With several copies, the nearest count.
Chain A
């Protein structure tokens, strides 16, 4: 049994525990229309993450005092299933999930044409079925697809990814062990076309140079991730054209 400090997270060839190179993503798969009731839905599998996102709305914001007369209010609710993590999680929101719900709501607001739907709310329900590092940016990436799936007009797509520092090296898309025993974690999300940053959080220790190289890695990866988003939606439209939804 090795303790964290015994375990080498990056080997002599620069490869990571799961065999990836420094700027390699874990496998990502997105499907849409995974739920019947929701107006739009998507499921993302990203490494060991398994996350379902449902979108309802725009619908009248309730209670009334939460209405914004100028725009739709986006209410994301990030929730972890009790069985999604190693030790059983007590159901209900904790401080971490409240914070993540807030930053996801804000990031999505920048992408949706919220001005078109004053006084309404758009609910984005996120259920983390299995968690494996990077849940917030995986959720955001899937939420963007679910919003499109719901037919909600959007200015741009939100695409997220993390980078971090592990054993002194900057690497892309931290795995669970790299997240636990690494030295920095930088989740970030951008608008796909404009490249503007709509979510950024960081903890750990990064020099400015390391930060710059982490950001560059993420910016590059978001292009690849957006392809997957686009394909998930295209697949749906192709199905519709072909007259069936699987």
Chain B
């Protein structure tokens, strides 16, 4: 994770934040299990088959989905294909550099991908046009344009929103169909500061923490993907706590961003 432009956080600020956390509140006034403000503009890129512009606090990402026909993988001749790519654009933060994805971007893209893929949100079987020959390929591309922490959740909710409205043409001459959707996975990313667990960390909180964990669940209460990051550790009790927080917070997000869809 990048350091702040001014280097690391001052010691004074650190202890202030940590002290406040003990009272159950964060520097920006949120409770530990409270998300920042979420705004999602759907169909932000009309020329894409699905898209969303997500603002999670000051973090901003654009999700664009292109759906094209192509060949299936040899070992899954009856399944459509999905790929996920995250571009941490250099415009998003002073120290982000142009170039191929680094290990941070790769991890983020893979965690987002895993949540969508393992929940089987997209019904890939229905995206098979001609077994072994032609299937639909769902390209999920995400531009991170402004960075203030918690990219993973901003991306995941953007992808879920964009897929919910995405349409594709199995036949170039035929009609548009909605992308077949099974469920709505939501990821919740939490960090540990001191011994407190808090969700949706902003940049300062990411910098102060040394352990991060993401839990992705579906509306049926099932865990679909997990990923611990950073050099710190969690106790088994804390693992339990993050799973509970993930379900509770995730349900709130799902309600908020998809209320009208489901």
- Whether A and B touch (Cβ < 8 Å) is answered with yes
Chain A contact residues, CB within 8 Å of chain B: 1, 35-38, 41, 48, 50, 52, 54, 56, 59, 77, 79, 81-88, 91-93, 95-96, 98-99, 101-103, 106, 109-110, 123, 125, 127, 129-130, 132, 186, 191, 194-208, 211-212, 215, 219
Identify which of B64, B68, B107, B233 gathers the most chain A CB atoms within 10 Å of its CB. Answer: B233
User: B-side binding surface: helix, strand, loop or mixed?
Assistant: mixed
**Of A48, A88, A99, A205, which one neighbours B139 at CB under 8 angstroms?**
A88
B131 smallest CB distance to A (angstroms): 14
Spot the interface stretch: B10-18, B21-29, B45-53, B250-258: B45-53
CB neighbours (8 Å) of A87 from chain B are 66, 68
Q: Indicate if the CB atoms of A109 and B231 lie closer than 8 Å.
A: yes
Chain B contact residues, CB within 8 Å of chain A: 44-48, 51, 58, 60, 62, 64-66, 68, 85, 87, 89-94, 98, 100-101, 103, 106-107, 109-110, 114, 117-119, 139, 141, 143, 145-148, 173, 213, 221-236, 239-240, 243
CB neighbours (8 Å) of A194 from chain B are 233
Q: How far is the CA of A130 from the CA of B89 in the complex (A)?
A: 16
**Of B64, B89, B98, B148, which one neighbours A36 at CB under 8 angstroms?**
B148
Q: Indicate if the CB atoms of A195 and B235 lie closer than 8 Å.
A: yes
The residue in chain A whose Cβ has the minimal distance to the Cβ of B226 is A202
Q: How far is the CA of A106 from the CA of B234 in the complex (A)?
A: 13
A207 and B143 in contact, given A87-B68, A200-B239 (Cβ under 8 angstroms): no
CB neighbours (8 Å) of B235 from chain A are 195-197
Q: Indicate if the CB atoms of A37 and B146 lie closer than 8 Å.
A: yes
CB neighbours (8 Å) of A197 from chain B are 228, 233-236, 239
CB neighbours (8 Å) of A127 from chain B are 89, 91, 143, 145
CB neighbours (8 Å) of B87 from chain A are 81-82, 91
A83 and B58 in contact, given A35-B91, A95-B110, A125-B89 (Cβ under 8 angstroms): no
Q: Indicate if the CB atoms of B66 and A203 lie closer than 8 Å.
A: no
Q: How far is the CA of A93 from the CA of B147 in the complex (A)?
A: 22
Q: Indicate if the CB atoms of A129 and B225 lie closer than 8 Å.
A: no
A196 and B233 in contact, given A36-B148, A83-B141, A215-B239 (Cβ under 8 angstroms): yes
Q: Indicate if the CB atoms of B233 and A219 lie closer than 8 Å.
A: no
Q: Indicate if the CB atoms of B221 and A129 lie closer than 8 Å.
A: no
Q: Indicate if the CB atoms of B141 and A81 lie closer than 8 Å.
A: yes
11 A-B pairs, CB-CB below 8 angstroms?
Answer: A35-B92, A77-B90, A82-B139, A83-B139, A84-B45, A92-B100, A125-B89, A125-B91, A129-B44, A202-B227, A203-B114
Q: How far is the CA of A219 from the CA of B118 in the complex (A)?
A: 24
